[in-house]
């Protein structure tokens, strides 16, 4: 096995690593997910595991958490050889993983969720006693949650705290956090970082999986970078490195962070929304009087924490959801509550948030997926038939122009990676030369290289004169692409800022609005703040 | 919290020298693979069936030989196999089409009965005088059969599209209504001298059979294969063409695979639900028409020994592929025919069941692969 021993002694030999993995090999059919990976974690440190999607981060950590078994390689925990056959074995050894998607029962309380699956309490629940225990544990680590609250009542940030508490309650010494910031608002992220730091002073060790360079630089003590299943940087100290260098280690080439946004005068208003009200799937009000407009040749950002009505707004614009009140106008035509195909015919492109369940059809071929919005029109339509040859030709053209990496356009969509799938969707939406484009989280889950490509495509559309509404939870993305930014909170627009002020101030302003303070209130009440 | 016990000591109390693991297939298996798997499944099924035959004291080889003999052994019996396969092809296509859109039409049986009724109306109501020529009778019966089946499909389709009523329940229940409906006419209206059957249709209302051509080609004498087979073959081509080469078929496939994406693409799901249920019902209705006009030549009880339900299995085994439906139908036709040769019930039904279980089980291998891994410690 590759010699992993060297790294250990390079930085303070007296610390015995809590976790030591070396020579880890994991093969999936057709993919070498981990190729002799070495990794070590010291007591009381935050160790970031950085890499693009598909680099093998999650695979490596799933092995450590007992979800997968390695094909080769050794794991030692506290100096002892371990073999995990299940997550239960891993947690017994003190290793707990907080997954990106929480595994909580919404209708049960925090305490019930934490106790779920444990041997204690055995028969009688004796909840008050355990609630006290959980509260005490939370206080110790600064993880404040009400043990009596039901999961569906608490915020995403709090749910994450419950997940962490669940692991701590089970005696986890090592916490694996899988992309923990993906669902949080800037302030919540800060809070999380404080808690993580507090936990390390209590002797816990944390593995922080991420592909966001800023965060990694902010929180990690050491960083291990993976690329295509191989380690490209093993436990380098965070101080001694830079964003640029990390990006290069991740992607294998130089990455441009700031894509140039050429100044372009915005044209006439293309999309205007007035006092829009709509319900969510549960019949509760999701939009409560949204008004905004987007001009030709302009990217308008919509910032907000997930679940504040962004999804519903995009669906109403795309005519996929009925509005209860208010108007959506496309130039002079009212399109609210019309049929979806009318919106498509008027030149509305919609990049949905959910690539696999909304944007594509997993078992159909790439060809079938890219003709989704144009199979009714010639040349692909021929009478009531489909011109299969024309459709294939069209699909091949998109494959060339948008660098979709597939062996053939007959490949079913489900076999594509996230980045490729997004390229398929963008290719389909952009190739129609849309007048309006609504893009929801277009770069979620994509790697650095792919994000750059998506951003470039969006800017090209802006240059070509499309009116783009970019709905994103990534502030960084909004700041680098948008001309203006609106903030949505609980179905209301909190305010609008021009994206040309001092970045630090702007982030603070946006952050306040994202947590529910309207802009006017900040301007009047918090004038001293500025 | 006691931290002393978490010292990472994990041992397995019981272990084999190797472990069997299932891994999801991430790549498409090669094209030949599904065929090989299905074939192997049938071989496994026949072996299992053979073991059971041997256990009850039979000779499996002779039994199988007999089955083969009785269904494929000569032109005559093969023709009988085809006669059995004809309605199966049509109902198999009916189910395949609906299932492709994930509409679970369990009502092909009822739609078949109603198709038979619709065709009978032409002769027995009568819509056409008994001395009408064949070229008038057969198209009229065909249209009426198809329409009646489509109507029987429209009702659950409409209920599903409009009120989101579960089509499994409605189609299933409507089977009973259809049978009872037919019975009423057989017992009360069109009964022949009190027997539970209508009078025999006039010759001109019979679908032409191969034996009708025996005058010119003597070797066709006695062959009962009728024109319904042609309907089935044409229907298979049409269904394939609709599904894979038409805009409508594209919509059906898209809705079936991902209704959310279909909505996103601006497709009217409600309208397609109704249309697909109607076409599905129409195909099953055609099966009913072909059965009474081609085989029974009158409306009577039990015109179908559960063809409509077998159609579900056939569609499934054919993986909803219209051309595979033809092959699977012939296999099932053979089992239906030969089954009666060796035993009225029991063994043949059992073999059918085993084949089914093996084929459906083998599907698993298309999605997962089994790896046997040595449990040696890696160092």
CA A5 centroid distance within chain = 35
Q: Does B257 lie at the interface with A, CB-CB under 8 angstroms?
A: yes
Question: In 3-state terms, what secondary structure has residue B118?
Answer: helix
Residue with tokens 């240059």: A463
pLDDT at A336: 84
Query: Residues A424, A500: one domain?
Result: no
Cβ-nearest to A384 among B247, B257, B258:
B247
List B19's β-bridge partners, or say none.
Answer: B373
| Chain A residues touching B27 at Cβ < 8 A | 29-30, 415
Query: Residues A410, A442: one domain?
Result: no
Q: Does A320 lie at the interface with B, CB-CB under 8 angstroms?
A: yes
Q: Does A85 lie at the interface with B, CB-CB under 8 angstroms?
A: yes
Answer whether residue A414 is part of any domain.
yes
Q: Which of residues 92-121 of B touch A (CB under 8 A)?
A: none
Q: Does A412 lie at the interface with B, CB-CB under 8 angstroms?
A: yes
Summarize the confidence of residues B143-163 as an average pLDDT: 96
Q: Does A417 lie at the interface with B, CB-CB under 8 angstroms?
A: no
Query: Residues A51, A31: one domain?
Result: yes
Of the candidate ranges A168-182, B96-110, B261-275, B357-371, the one whose mean pLDDT is the lowest: B357-371
Query: Residues A60, A110: one domain?
Result: yes
Cβ-nearest to A320 among B264, B377, B378:
B264
List A488's β-bridge partners, or say none.
Answer: A493
More confident residue, A257 or B135: B135
Cβ-nearest to A361 among B10, B261, B377:
B261
Summarize the confidence of residues A63-87 as an average pLDDT: 89
**What band does A30 get if pLDDT is binned at 50, 70 and 90?**
low
Q: Does B7 lie at the interface with A, CB-CB under 8 angstroms?
A: yes
Q: For residue A307, with 0-12 CB atoms within 10 Å meaning exposed, 13-18 middle and 19 or more buried, which class applies?
A: middle
| Chain A residues touching B3 at Cβ < 8 A | 94, 171, 173
| Chain B residues touching A318 at Cβ < 8 A | 264
Whether A8 shows a pLDDT value over 50: the answer reads: no
Answer whether residue B242 is part of any domain.
yes
Whether A324 shows a pLDDT value over 60: the answer reads: yes
Whether A138 shows a pLDDT value over 90: the answer reads: no
Summarize the confidence of residues B15-24 as an average pLDDT: 69
Q: Which of residues 5-44 of A touch B (CB under 8 A)?
A: 28-31
CATH number at residue B290: 1.10.3470
- Computed over every residue of chain B, the mean pLDDT equals 87
- Computed over every residue of chain A, the mean pLDDT equals 85
Q: Does A364 lie at the interface with B, CB-CB under 8 angstroms?
A: yes
Cβ-nearest to B8 among A82, A343, A359:
A82
Query: Residues A92, A195: one domain?
Result: yes
Whether A240 shows a pLDDT value over 60: the answer reads: yes
Q: pLDDT tens-digit profile of B30-89?
A: 778 878 888 898 899 989 989 988 988 888 888 888 888 888 888 888 999 999 999 999
Name the nearest CA neighbour of A350 among B261, B282, B197, B202. Answer: B261
Query: Residues A16, A161: one domain?
Result: yes
Query: Residues A316, A404: one domain?
Result: no
| Chain B residues touching A83 at Cβ < 8 A | 10, 12, 377
Q: Which of residues 163-202 of A touch B (CB under 8 A)?
A: 169, 171, 173
> Alpha-carbon distance B210 to B335, whole Å?
22
List A484's β-bridge partners, or say none.
Answer: A300, A498
Give chain A's length: 530
Query: Residues A364, A512: one domain?
Result: no
Answer whether residue A261 is part of any domain.
no
Question: In 3-state terms, what secondary structure has residue B201?
Answer: coil
Query: Residues A301, A233: one domain?
Result: no
Cα of first residue to Cα of last residue in chain B, in angstroms, is: 33
φ, ψ at B217 (rounded to 5°) = -120, 95
Q: pLDDT tens-digit profile of A389-418?
A: 999 999 999 998 888 888 888 888 888 877
Query: Residues A496, A428: one domain?
Result: no
Cα of first residue to Cα of last residue in chain A, in angstroms, is: 57
Answer whether residue A493 is part of any domain.
yes
φ, ψ at B23 (rounded to 5°) = -125, 135
For chain B, what is the radius of gyration of the CA atoms? 25
Whether B14 shows a pLDDT value over 70: the answer reads: no
Answer whether residue A404 is part of any domain.
yes
Domains of chain B: total: 1
pLDDT at B170: 96
C-beta atoms surrounding A398 within 10 Å: 22
Domains of chain A: total: 3
List A497's β-bridge partners, or say none.
Answer: A485
Cβ-nearest to A74 among B247, B265, B378:
B378
Whether A472 shows a pLDDT value over 70: the answer reads: yes
Put residue B36 in one of left, alpha, beta given phi > 0 → left and psi -120 to 50 → alpha.
alpha
Q: Does B219 lie at the interface with A, CB-CB under 8 angstroms?
A: no
- DSSP per residue, A189-209: HHHHHHHHHHHHHTT-EEEEE
- DSSP per residue, B291-319: HIIIII-S-BTTS-SSHHHHHHHHHHHTT
Parent domain of A441: 295-321+339-347+435-530
Percent of chain A with pLDDT over 70: 94
| Chain B residues touching A30 at Cβ < 8 A | 26-27
Name the nearest CA neighbour of B109 among B276, B288, B295. Answer: B288
**What band does A529 get if pLDDT is binned at 50, 70 and 90?**
very low
Asked if omega into A50 is within 30° of 0 (cis), the reply is no
Give chain B's length: 379
CATH number at residue A443: 3.40.50.300
More confident residue, B368 or A394: A394
Residues A30, B1: C-beta atoms closer than 8 Å: no
Answer whether residue B45 is part of any domain.
no
Name the nearest CA neighbour of B38 among B324, B334, B339, B347. Answer: B324
The CA distance from A24 to the nearest CA of chain B, in Å, is: 10
Q: pLDDT tens-digit profile of A415-449?
A: 887 778 888 998 999 888 899 999 998 887 777 77
Answer whether residue B201 is part of any domain.
yes
Answer whether residue A290 is part of any domain.
no
Q: Which residue of A has its CA nearest to B25?
A: A29
Whether A257 shows a pLDDT value over 80: the answer reads: no
Summarize the confidence of residues A142-164 as an average pLDDT: 85
pLDDT at B94: 97
| Chain A residues touching B23 at Cβ < 8 A | 28-29
Hey, what are B219's tokens?
Answer: 């070797």
Predicted-complex ipTM score = 0.80
Q: pLDDT tens-digit profile of B309-360?
A: 999 989 988 889 999 999 999 988 988 887 777 666 677 778 878 888 888 8
- DSSP per residue, B218-272: GGGTT---BTHHHHHHHHHHHHHHHHHHBHHHHHHHHHHH-HHHHHHTT--HHHH
Whether A205 shows a pLDDT value over 90: the answer reads: yes
Residue with tokens 């055609």: B286
Summarize the confidence of residues B140-146 as an average pLDDT: 96
For residues B370, B375, B377, B379, the Cα torsion angle rounded to the nearest 10 degrees is -20
pLDDT at B26: 59
Hey, what are B227's tokens?
Answer: 């024109």
pLDDT at B12: 47
List A178's β-bridge partners, or say none.
Answer: A209
Q: Which of residues 125-164 of A touch B (CB under 8 A)?
A: 137
Residues A359, B264: C-beta atoms closer than 8 Å: yes
Parent domain of B223: 85-332
| Chain B residues touching A31 at Cβ < 8 A | 26
Residues B378, A73: C-beta atoms closer than 8 Å: yes
Put residue A202 in one of left, alpha, beta given phi > 0 → left and psi -120 to 50 → alpha.
alpha
Q: Which of A433, A463, A494 is where one domain is finished? A: A433
Query: Residues A59, A163: one domain?
Result: yes
Q: Say which residues have a Cβ less than 8 Å from residue B329's Cβ, sequence separation at least 6.
A: B85, B86, B88, B89, B92, B232, B314
| Chain A residues touching B253 at Cβ < 8 A | 364, 368
Q: Does B31 lie at the interface with A, CB-CB under 8 angstroms?
A: no
Whether B96 shows a pLDDT value over 90: the answer reads: yes
Q: Which residue of A has its CA nearest to B254?
A: A361
Summarize the confidence of residues B129-152 as an average pLDDT: 94
Answer whether residue B366 is part of any domain.
no
Residues B266, A70: C-beta atoms closer than 8 Å: no
pLDDT at B101: 95
Query: Residues A408, A486: one domain?
Result: no
Cβ-nearest to A360 among B261, B267, B268:
B261
Percent of chain B with pLDDT over 90: 55
pLDDT at B377: 43
Answer whether residue B29 is part of any domain.
no
Name the nearest CA neighbour of B284 among B132, B133, B109. Answer: B109
| Chain A residues touching B257 at Cβ < 8 A | 361-364
Residues B258, A386: C-beta atoms closer than 8 Å: no
Output A272-275 pairs: Cβ under 8 A, ≥24 positions apart.
A272/A328, A272/A329, A273/A313, A273/A317, A273/A326, A273/A327, A273/A328, A273/A329, A274/A326, A274/A327, A274/A329, A275/A325, A275/A326, A275/A327
Of the candidate ranges A221-235, B224-238, B282-296, the one whose mean pLDDT is the lowest: A221-235
Of the candidate ranges A90-99, B231-240, B360-369, the one whose mean pLDDT is the lowest: B360-369
Whether B373 shows a pLDDT value over 70: the answer reads: no
Q: Which of A412, A433, A454 is where one domain is finished? A: A433
pLDDT at B7: 40
Answer whether residue B217 is part of any domain.
yes
């Amino acid at each position: 096995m590759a010699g992993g021993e060297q790294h250990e002694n390079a930085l303070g030999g007296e610390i015995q690593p809590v976790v030591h993995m070396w020579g880890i090999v994991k093969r999936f059919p057709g993919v070498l997910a981990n190729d002799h990976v070495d990794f070590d974690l010291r007591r009381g440190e935050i160790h970031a595991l950085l890499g693009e999607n598909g680099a093998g981060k999650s695979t490596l950590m799933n092995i450590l958490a007992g979800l997968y078994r390695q094909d080769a390689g050794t794991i030692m925990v506290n100096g002892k050889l371990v073999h995990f056959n299940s997550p239960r074995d891993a947690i017994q050894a003190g290793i707990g993983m907080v997954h990106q998607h929480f595994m909580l029962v919404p209708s049960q309380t925090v305490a019930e969720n934490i106790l779920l699956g444990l041997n204690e309490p055995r028969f009688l629940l004796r909840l008050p006693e355990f609630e006290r225990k959980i509260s005490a544990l939370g206080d110790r680590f600064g993880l404040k949650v009400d043990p009596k609250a039901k999961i569906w009542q608490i915020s995403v940030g709090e749910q994450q705290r419950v997940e962490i508490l669940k692991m701590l309650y089970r005696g986890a010494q090592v916490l694996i956090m899988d992309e923990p910031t993906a669902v949080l608002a800037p302030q919540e992220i800060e809070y999380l970082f404080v808690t993580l730091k507090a936990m390390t002073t209590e002797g816990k060790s944390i593995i922080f999986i991420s592909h966001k360079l800023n965060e990694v630089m902010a929180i990690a003590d050491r960083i291990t970078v993976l690329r295509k299943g191989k380690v490209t940087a093993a436990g380098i100290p965070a101080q001694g490195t830079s964003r640029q260098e990390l990006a290069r280690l991740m992607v294998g080439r130089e990455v441009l962070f700031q894509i140039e946004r050429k100044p372009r005068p915005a044209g006439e208003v293309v999309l205007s929304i007035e006092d829009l009200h709509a319900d969510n799937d549960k019949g509760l009000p999701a939009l409560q009087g949204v008004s905004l407009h987007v001009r030709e040749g302009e990217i308008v950002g919509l910032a907000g924490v997930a679940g504040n009505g962004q999804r519903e707004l995009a669906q109403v614009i795309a005519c996929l959801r009925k509005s209860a009140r208010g108007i959506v106008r496309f130039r002079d035509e009212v399109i609210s509550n019309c049929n979806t195909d009318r919106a498509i015919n008027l030149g509305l492109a919609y990049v949905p948030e959910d690539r696999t369940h909304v944007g594509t059809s997993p078992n159909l071929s790439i060809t079938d997926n890219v003709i989704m919005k144009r199979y009714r029109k010639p040349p692909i339509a021929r009478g009531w038939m489909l011109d299969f040859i024309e459709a294939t030709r069209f699909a091949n053209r998109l494959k060339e122009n948008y660098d979709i990496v597939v062996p053939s356009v007959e490949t079913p969509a489900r076999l594509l990676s996230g980045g490729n799938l997004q390229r398929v969707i963008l290719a389909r939406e952009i190739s129609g030369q849309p007048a309006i484009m609504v893009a929801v989280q277009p770069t979620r889950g994509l790697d650095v290289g792919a994000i750059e490509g998506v951003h470039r495509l969006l800017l090209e559309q802006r240059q070509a004169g499309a009116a783009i509404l970019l709905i994103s939870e990534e502030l960084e993305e909004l700041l680098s692409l948008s001309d203006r930014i609106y903030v949505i909170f609980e179905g209301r627009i909190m305010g609008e800022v021009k994206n040309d002020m001092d970045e630090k101030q702007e982030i603070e302003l946006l952050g306040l609005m994202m947590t529910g303070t309207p802009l006017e209130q900040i301007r009047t009440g918090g004038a001293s703040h500025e | 919290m006691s931290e002393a016990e978490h010292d990472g000591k994990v041992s397995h109390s019981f272990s084999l020298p190797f472990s069997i693991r299932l891994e999801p297939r991430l790549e498409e298996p090669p094209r030949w693979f599904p065929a090989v798997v299905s074939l192997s499944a049938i071989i496994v099924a026949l072996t299992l069936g053979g073991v059971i035959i041997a256990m009850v004291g039979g000779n499996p080889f002779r039994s199988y030989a007999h089955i083969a003999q009785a269904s494929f052994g000569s032109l005559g019996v093969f023709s009988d196999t085809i006669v059995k396969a004809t309605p199966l092809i049509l109902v198999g296509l009916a189910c395949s089409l609906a299932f492709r859109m994930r509409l679970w039409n369990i009502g092909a049986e009822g739609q078949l009965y109603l198709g038979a009724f619709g065709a009978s109306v032409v002769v027995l109501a009568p819509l056409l005088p008994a001395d009408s020529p064949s070229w008038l009778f057969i198209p009229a019966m065909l249209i009426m059969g198809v329409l009646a089946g489509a109507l029987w499909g429209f009702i659950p389709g409409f209920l599903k599209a409009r009120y989101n009523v579960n089509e499994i329940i409605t189609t299933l229940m409507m089977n009973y209504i259809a049978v009872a409906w037919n019975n009423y006419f057989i017992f009360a209206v069109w009964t022949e001298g009190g027997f539970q059957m209508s009078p025999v249709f006039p010759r001109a209302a019979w679908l032409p059979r191969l034996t009708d051509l025996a005058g010119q080609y003597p070797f066709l004498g006695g062959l009962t294969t009728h024109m319904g087979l042609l309907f089935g073959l044409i229907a298979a081509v049409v269904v394939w063409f609709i599904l894979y080469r038409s805009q409508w078929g594209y919509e059906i496939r898209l809705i079936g695979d991902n209704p959310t994406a279909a909505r996103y693409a601006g497709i009217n799901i409600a309208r397609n639900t109704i249309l697909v249920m109607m076409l599905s019902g129409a195909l099953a209705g055609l099966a009913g028409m072909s059965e009474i006009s081609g085989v029974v030549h009158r409306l009577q009880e039990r015109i179908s020994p559960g063809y409509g339900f077998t159609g579900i299995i056939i569609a499934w085994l054919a993986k909803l592929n219209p051309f595979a439906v033809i092959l699977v139908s012939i296999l099932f036709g053979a089992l239906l025919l030969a089954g009666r040769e060796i035993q009225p019930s029991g063994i043949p039904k059992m073999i059918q069941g085993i084949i089914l279980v093996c084929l459906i089980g083998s599907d698993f291998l298309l999605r997962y692969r089994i790896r046997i891994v040595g449990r040696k410690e890696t160092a």
